[in-house]
Amino acid sequence: MKNGINTTLISIRRMGKTGLIHHFFHYLSQESNIDTLFVDLFETKNLSEFIGKFASAIFEKHKNK
Q: Tens digits of per-residue pLDDT, 38-63?
A: 999 999 999 999 999 999 999 998 88
Rg of the chain, C-alpha, whole Å: 14
pLDDT reading at 2 higher than 80: no
Q: Residues 26-31: what's their mean pLDDT? A: 88
Looking from the CA of 39 toward its CB, the CA atoms found within 13 Å total 16
Question: What pLDDT shows up at residue 45?
Answer: 97
CA distances from 2 to 5, 7, 10, 28, 33 (A): 8, 12, 21, 11, 12
Q: 28 with 21: CB under 8 angstroms?
A: no
